[in-house]
Structure 1
Amino acid sequence: MGHAKKKRGPKPKPVVEFPQALEGDWVDPSSFPEALALHMRRHGDSCNHLHRAIIGPRDKTDRKTIQTWVLGTRAPGTIESLAVLERIEHRYRLPAGYFRDKLDRSGRATARRAIPTLCTPERRRLAWHLPGDFAKRPKRERDEILEWVRSVIIAGTTDYRRFQRGATQQRFSLRFPRIDCHDFVPGDVAVAAADPVDENLPGCRDAPLHLQHEVGRLIAFKTSTLAPSGLLRQGMWGEETASQKLEHLGLLFGALRSPLDSEVKGHGVPLDRLCLAMLLFPSVWDWYLQWREDRRGFYTSWEVNMLDFALSLSRDKTGWMRQNPGLAGALQPVDGLISPSEIDEARQDWDALCDRFTIYALNRKKDVQRVAKVHRDPFEPILPILEAASPVGEYRKITEEILDRMPNARRHPKSAAEAVRAFLMLRFGLHLGLRQKNLRQLRFCVRGGRHSTEKQLEMLKCGELRWNDLSGGWEVFIPAVAFKNASSSFFSRKPYRLLLPDLGRLYEFIDIYLQRDRQILLGGAEDPRTFFVKSAKLTTKNAAYSQLGFYDAWRLTIQRYGIYNPYTGQGAIKGLLPHGPHNVRDVLATHVLKKTGSYEQAGYAIQDSPEIVAKHYGRFLPHDKSAMAAVVLNLAWES
């Protein structure tokens, strides 16, 4: 029997658990590659030897991976890689998290093995909020973490959010695709034939063409600069209001159309029998109001607003439906709602029908107002902030969290650009107190550029961020007509102008965003000329934010940076819940009230009147008022 052939060359270095450091004093490098190379050199480890010392037979990390870490061409980004770093820290007797703290922020969730019970979209949403050792924890603890993340961070735990989540899963609204609230031409509606659909199927459907034509005429009447010839009008709608009314009509007619035996439990009215004239029959409203109550469990101000809307249509002299008796021609009998005799009466005396409905709606509105409840407490998601001594200072912590976790722009340019955009969204909201529409549609002019005139911005109905040479700072200029409450005494028909403060690195990041990050986010998409733009993809046609898109972007920022996660230790504020940009107005108004006690000054912060602040925005409780008065009264005892 022959002897085994010996390998040529020097014997491999023996592996020990804790190698002795060859150097004593050392200067701690700031970057991960330099730190790893330093400690390998201090302990006499090569990439091959370190790999042999810490990698087991079932591990997938090879020696070339460690070599790329040392060279800085790659960095650990998976749960498995981070576990390897922990072994290296243990081997060199370094503090836990030493190497991980030196890694560049990527702005992405740490890659991990798929959780079998979760679908891919949910895994992506949850990945941001799971601890690194999630897979190693007991099943009971993993289930507890998943439930907490789902209920608190992803969904929000308010009663209204739970109701809304369930309600949005039932799609029943009618759509009006041929109506453009911004520039509507009534004749466009009846051009093409309707697509055949099965009326008994649940889900969203296009409204029948005759209904689209009627609603289109209504939208044109309420949005035109001047009332159409021969018609009288009281007030007009802006684009946002028209879109909202269109959505509400879609929900109403969608409920009427939905089959009785469906999940929605509608009335089952055939599509070809739906028409606007139905809204003048009390039986239709009695059914709809009862349906709304059964669905939610109680009445809210939403039903009151819908009755107000119907009243405006039947109003004497200026109501659009009252001035269009021809609408009666579209009426058809509907079992349980409208009888043939009622249709005959309507066609014979249209004014009498409108009068009867007006009397009914006024009385029904009072009945609903008496029992209506508040379902959504707008303050609930941000209570920890509003209860703080300095609400703005508390909300500011979220922006500081974004800066602390800012990705490395050189290695992760798009993630860094998204973080800068999130930072500026919140900072602009805190400084300006604008409604979402004004913030979302804000345009910009670079330093040294020629800014838009007030007349141009009035035509566009939006504002502009511009550099003010006289003041030496960034200024936001918005004409009064761009605001929802343009007729408010706050404006007196004068434009809104505010110089942003050069605080907390705001100017630095405005310049970075305009010079670098905004173009990264746009990619190859067409530039909408708005300051804030979406992260464009190859299929993106319009990089401008929609109302829902901007809300989702703000909410996502709060989920990632605002809500404190006890399992990861990340997040700025304990007890915070997901919310949108409108809540910042509550924060500003409450902050000013706590500091000054003045509803008028609180109104200045959010461009509104003291009455509106007291009714909708400021959370100024009796104990806050008493404490403010006590400060003044206690001075008498100090003298």
Structure 2
Amino acid sequence: MTTKRSAVIPRKISSFCQVRIAHCLQPTEVEALRLYLLRIYSEEELPPRIGAGINWYIVGKLCNIAPEYLIHYSKDIRPIFDLLIRELKRRPKSSKETSRTGELAANPPVNKPRRPLKSAVSPIIVETWDYEFSPRNKPGKKAQPIIEFPEALWTDWQDQDTLHDALRLHMDRHGDTVWQLSRAVVKSKETFSLTTLKSWLSAKKAPRSLDSMRILERIERRYRLPSGYFKAKIPHPSRGAYGHQVVDILPSERRRLAWHLPDDFESRSAHEQEEILSWVRKVIVTGSTDYRRYQAVASKQHYAIRFSNIHDRRPTLGAINDGLISEIGDPDLASSVRVAPIHLQAEMKELLRFKTSTLATFGYQRNGLWGNETADQKIEHLGLMFGALAASPQCAVRGLGVPVKSLTFALLVFPSVWDWYLQWREQRRGFYTAWEVDMLRVALAFTRHDTGWIRQTPSLSKALRPIEGVVSIDEIQTVRANWDAACDICHKHCTGRVKEINKVARVHRDPFEPILPILEAPSPVGEYRKITDEIIRLLPDEKRYPRSAAESIRSFLMIRLGRVDKEGFQIT
């Protein structure tokens, strides 16, 4: 009995090899595998198996293909083997098999005792190719040896702008496939995936990690290209590489440091690594100016008095009573959790009602209103002043130590309170600024004749308590006896302080600090041109990163559009 074979399966085998396997193996290897598949189909022979899988070692030996290639691309090659297995199992048995089956039925074999089953099936590991196979060798060639510096097939070539085009160009010039290049540049113990290299060639991904940068350097060395050739073609070159093994730092700081660390950071000595980290933190991340150092320290000290439920826009922070404050042993912690007492919050609400309501309260006069932003700013500034008065002298803030229950807006009519606060600000920062002038002008507005809120609210004096070294009982009685005279004295005193501080006030942050190296250069315009050149060099790919590319173009135009003169803009 003969079986009529269909011509569909051979066509499927040939098409599959041309379309699905051609990118995995060499052309001679693809042809050898195709002939092998056609042979086992024509001879109705199942492929060699290991359990439920294909024995790629035997297939590789029969086709003269390195089994490592077949195992690596097994996902691409396995479907055609599954098709053959299904087709061969569906076909009726041949006459040879039928006659053999009849012989077995006529002469049944003698039952032999079964061998005991093994407890576990050990994997088959083929270490050498010393074993012999009976089938004949098929045409094909063995895996090519790894050549460290392959010769270029042609020397005249046109450089490509993108990474994937340039990588594909030089692979073709040196006759490398993806698999051959991976074998040549990836070391045995490294975990660099072959699919990553494929994603670079297809422009789906771009190198970002330090491991990827090292692979690019090896490819450059293999093809004898200039150092940094491929790195300069990365779609977003301004991004910092990730993967630095810097211990004992938070991920947020690691992201800020990544752009400024060299690619060979891990290979440097511990002393050099510490020196690099120290320099980057001091000069770039934190800054090296006196103000930046002051700001870094001051931002960690929270001492302001917080006002809760002042108006609906502000979140509720919750009140903390004096008993809780007294239970905190650490002065630094005590100064960081203080909330305004009830009477001080009531005074603040009255002040905000006076300065923000559409109509002035009956019996009061005022000059100007506060908007929402101004009101928030004044709440914050007054909270800082009251917080400094209430902070413990033993904590890092070095406050005055006034009990929270003794804080009141009536203290602002005493010149001694303002002098202590001004001196405290100078000692804390090292000099006076316009900030102290603004606070003094708040005191002038509060005590101004006819329209000052404190002057028109003498009932504030009822909450006054003596403060050792600043406000005595006699001074409190004098202020209560003649509130207007006390406001006049405070107004006159603060007016003089404004004039004195204006003469010595300094800018606490130089607005030209970021561009000082440019302004101090012999040719500032030439330095600006270097900035534009750097922007163009690091310009991201507009197709993959449109927003980043637009931001870079905007920065470029802002610098290149020169000075403004009477004629308008001029290109410099």
TM-score normalised to structure 1 length: 0.59
- Tell me how many residue pairs correspond in the alignment: 429
Relative to the length of structure 2, the TM-score reads: 0.65
> Cα RMSD over matched residues?
3.7
State the match for 1:115 in structure 2.
Answer: 246
CA, structure 1 residues 390+236, in 2 after alignment: closer, same or farther (shift >3 Å)? farther
Residue 125 (structure 1) shift: 1.1
Which of 82, 107, 131 aligns to 1:5? It is 131
CA distance in 2, matches of 1:15, 1:3: 19
Residue 542 of structure 1 corresponds to: none
The 1:327–1:14 alpha-carbon spacing in structure 2 relative to 1, beyond 3 Å, is same
- Counterpart pick for 1:252 among 366, 374, 385: 385
Change (3 A) 1:397 1:50: closer
**Structure 2 unaligned spans of 5+:** 1-127, 329-333
Deviation at 1:307, TM superposition (A): 2.0
> Structure 1's 419 and 171: CA in aligned 2 closer, same or farther, altered over 3 A?
farther
Question: 2:285 maps to which residue?
Answer: 154
Contact 2:304 2:386 in 1 (8 A): yes
Counterpart selection for 2:215 from 81, 84, 103: 84
Q: 2:319 aligns with which of 194, 204, 209?
A: 194
Deviations 1:557-581 (A, max 9, x none): xxxxxxxxxxxxxxxxxxxxxxxxx
Cross-structure match for 2:406: 273
Q: CA deviation at 1:194?
A: 2.8
CA distance in 2, matches of 1:396, 1:309: 46
1:212 corresponding residue in structure 2: 345
Is residue 464 of structure 2 the alignment partner of residue 299 of structure 1? no
Measured in 2, the distance between the counterparts of 1:400 and 1:228 equals 62
Deviation at residue 179 of structure 1 after TM alignment: 3.6
Q: 1:383 to 1:113 in 2, by over 3 A?
A: closer
Q: Is the 8 A contact 2:244 2:265 kept in 1?
A: no
Deviations 1:517-566 (A, max 9, x none): xxxxxxxxxxxxxxxxxxxxxxxxxxxxxxxxxxxxxxxxxxxxxxxxxx
**How far apart, in 2, do the equivalents of 1:391 and 1:178 lie?**
52
* 2-structure distance, mates of 1:110, 1:66: 17
Q: 1:419 deviation in Å?
A: 5.8
CA contact (8 A) 2:542 2:549 kept: no
| Residues 325-378 of structure 1: CA deviation (Å, up to 9, x unaligned) | 122233233333333443333333211221222233234444545555554433
The amino acid of 2:383's aligned partner reads G
In structure 2, the CA distance between the partners of 1:6 and 1:241, relative to structure 1 (3 Å rule), is farther
Quote the residue 1:332 is aligned against.
465
Check if 1:36 corresponds to 2:164: no
Cα displacement (A) at 1:399: 6.7
Instruction: Name 1:321's counterpart in structure 2.
Output: 454
Counterpart contact for 1:402–1:419, Cα < 8 Å: no
Distance 2:237 2:340 in 1: 46
The structure-2 alpha-carbon separation of the partners of 1:80 and 1:3, relative to structure 1 and needing over 3 Å to count, comes to closer
> Secondary structure of the residue that 1:277 maps to in structure 2?
helix
Q: Which runs of 5+ in 1 are unaligned?
A: 432-502, 505-587, 606-639
Distance in 2 between the 1:356 and 1:382 partners?
46
Q: What corresponds to 1:420 in structure 2? A: 550
Alignment-derived partner of residue 17 in structure 1: 148
1:175 alignment partner, SS class: coil
Change (3 A) 1:217 1:419: farther
The offset of 1:287, in angstroms, is 2.2
Supply the AA of the counterpart residue of 1:333. P
Q: Structure 1: which amino acid aligns with 2:387?
A: G
CA contact (8 A) 2:308 2:318 kept: no
Shift of 1:82: 1.0
For 2:504 and 2:197, locate their aligned partners in 1 and report how far apart those are by CA, in whole Å.
68
Query: Residues of 1 paired with 2:455 and 2:529: CA distance?
Result: 52
In 2, the alpha carbon distance for the partners of 1:244 and 1:395 equals 37
Aligned to 1:45: 176
Q: Distance in 1 between matches of 2:129 and 2:431?
A: 90
Q: From the superposition, tell whether residues 404 and 240 of structure 1 become closer, same or farther in structure 2 (CA, over 3 Å).
A: farther
Contact 2:541/2:549 (<8 A) preserved: no
CA distance in 2, matches of 1:21, 1:376: 58
Tell me the residue number matched to 2:261: 130
Residue 397 (structure 2) aligns with = 264
Structure 2 contact 390–399 (Cα < 8 Å) conserved: yes
CA contact (8 A) 1:399 1:423 kept: no
